[in-house]
Amino acid sequence: MTAGSMRHLYIHVPFCARRCSYCDFAISVRNDTPIDDYVDALRLELDRQDASHWLLDTIYLGGGTPSRLGESVGDVLRLVRDRVSIAADAEITIEANPDDVTRAVADAWVRDGVNRVSLGSQSFDPEVLQWMHRTHSAEQIGSAFTTLRDAGIRNISLDLIFALPESLHRNWHADVDRVLELQPEHISLYGLTVEPHTPLSRWLGRGEVTEASEERYESDFMLAHQQLGDAGFEHYEVSNFARQDRRSRHNSSYWTGASYAGIGPSAHSFDGAVRSWNVAAYADWERRLRSGDAIVAESETLTGENRLSERVYLGLRTTDGLPASDAEIRLARPWQEAGWAEIRNRTIVLTATGFLRLDALAASLTLAGSR
């Protein structure tokens, strides 16, 4: 890879006001976000990069809760602009929590080049939001959405979590309807998973809550596939739905195996051959930058086997599909008969029921390919 081929930049902003009950991300829970220290540390990290020949097509501020930076998002983008070329039509996304979105902040984001917002909503049910330890109300989702639109953001994604414990009596159909009423361009859906060391895993351990069944997971997933499809959304990736020409360009780059640079604590980078990731803890990352120490925690060079499994897994997870060999097409024929896949122009494309079996199907192709 040459330095000039880098087109995608991920910036990890680790701060959150509170930890959500299901979250095990590398975050730093703070009442007061140390914005100046963070931006200054990012500057040090960017100065370590050989970035002068990058031409960025996408920039993604993820977290954590990047909206905790408020109007200082502009300072972060200026750091990048001062060092790196950014394409005129670049997609610049920020993840935001509804309670951080004010008109002044949204105006500042637009002025500084943000043109896409991924608004964390998760549910419109007040009891569910409370159970999840979310910091916002259901009303704040709608008002943040309207504020972003009024400020000129024409590309908004909303996300929801499905497969919640039955005891919450969550009305999944109603939540999907509420999202559709807002008319976003993009929607992401994630099944609730229980990660170790989270409040949710402790509740489960104490028997206070029971995980949703596999049947519930599948029925929620298929119901949303139907509802969103009827409303004109393309189910273009396992967890993602978009209106025409509104796929996430940044995340799509990951799914095509493109190179990307990541900065910030725990951020991953990939240069086409080696994947590396920064130390996860904010304080450790910042200290190392200031003292001149290395910030890469680990790296791995992709083996032939890694590449084979990534090609299969990434290919199957979007509706662009997996360009397949004769042997792979033969293996996928039974999937076609089961309704899990279509085979078009020598490309295997999973259906929604196939997406539900992605891991198993990808594993069987990978295994056959490695023999």
Q: Quick check: 158 binds ligand SF4 (CB under 6 A)?
A: no
Write out the H or E segment, with its range, that includes residue 337: helix 326-338
Choose, by CB under 6 A, the member of 28, 33, 65, 269 that binds ligand SF4: 65
Give min distance, CB of 20 to ligand SF4, in A.
3
Choose, by CB under 6 A, the member of 7, 51, 64, 94 that binds ligand SF4: 64
Residue closer to ligand SF4 by CB (options 24, 211) is 24
* CA 177/CA 160 separation, integer angstroms: 11
Q: Quick check: 30 binds ligand SF4 (CB under 6 A)?
A: no
Mapped onto helix, strand or coil, the DSSP state of residue 317 is helix
Give min distance, CB of 4 to ligand SF4, in A.
33
Choose, by CB under 6 A, the member of 6, 9, 13, 20 that binds ligand SF4: 20
Choose, by CB under 6 A, the member of 11, 16, 86, 350 that binds ligand SF4: 16
Residue closer to ligand SF4 by CB (options 21, 252) is 21
Give min distance, CB of 209 to ligand SF4, in A.
18
Q: Name the segment binding ligand SF4 (CB under 6 A); options: 12-20, 39-47, 106-114, 145-153.
A: 12-20
Q: Name the segment binding ligand SF4 (CB under 6 A); options: 15-23, 42-50, 228-236, 337-345.
A: 15-23
Q: Is 153 left (phi over 0), alpha (psi -120 to 50) or beta?
A: beta
Alpha-carbon radius of gyration of the chain: 21
Q: State the CB neighbour count (10 A cutoff) for residue 108.
A: 17
Strands 234-237 and 240-242 come out as antiparallel
Q: CA 118, 122, 125, 127: dihedral to nearest 10 degrees?
A: -130
Angle at 173 between CA 167 and CA 175, to 5 degrees: 80
Show contacts with ligand SF4 in window 98-127 (CB under 6 A).
none
Residue closer to ligand SF4 by CB (options 120, 321) is 120
Q: What one-character DSSP code corresponds to residue 260?
A: B
Choose, by CB under 6 A, the member of 8, 10, 56, 63 that binds ligand SF4: 63
Residues binding ligand SF4: number (CB under 6 A) = 10
* CA 317/CA 42 separation, integer angstroms: 32
Contact by Cβ (8 Å): 273, 335: no
Q: State the CB neighbour count (10 A cutoff) for residue 74.
A: 17
Q: Quick check: 265 binds ligand SF4 (CB under 6 A)?
A: no
* CA 314/CA 296 separation, integer angstroms: 25
Q: Quick check: 25 binds ligand SF4 (CB under 6 A)?
A: yes
Binding site for ligand SF4 (CB under 6 A): 16, 19-20, 23, 25, 27, 63-65, 97
